[in-house]
């Protein structure tokens, strides 16, 4: 009986964690057209600025808040 309770608890915890992760996904789509524009960096979610222009930019700073473009 003790094993069944433990198994039930673990399944419930895993389900709650997976639902929380799915519900907290951030929409990274942008409504602004970016064709023909050159990225020059990013502003991170913690307020720092990065010169990185691709994948991994702001990875240690909570992700990219928005991209910076050359005018």
CA distance 28 to 25: 9
For residue 71, the model assigns a pLDDT of 84
CA distance 31 to 12: 38
35-40-43-48 Cα dihedral, nearest 10 degrees: 170
CA distance 59 to 40: 17
- Give residue for tokens 């907290």: 24
List, for residues 14-57, the tens digit of each pLDDT value: 777 776 555 554 555 555 556 789 999 999 999 999 999 999 99
The domain limits of the chain are: 38-71
Q: Is the full-model pTM beyond 0.85?
A: no
């Amino acid at each position: 009986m003790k094993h069944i309770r433990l198994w039930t608890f673990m399944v419930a915890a895993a389900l709650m964690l997976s639902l929380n992760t799915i519900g907290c996904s951030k929409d990274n789509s942008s409504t602004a057209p970016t064709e023909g524009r050159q990225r020059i960096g990013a502003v991170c979610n913690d307020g720092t600025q990065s010169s990185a222009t691709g994948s991994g930019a702001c990875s240690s700073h909570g992700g990219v808040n928005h991209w910076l473009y050359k005018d």
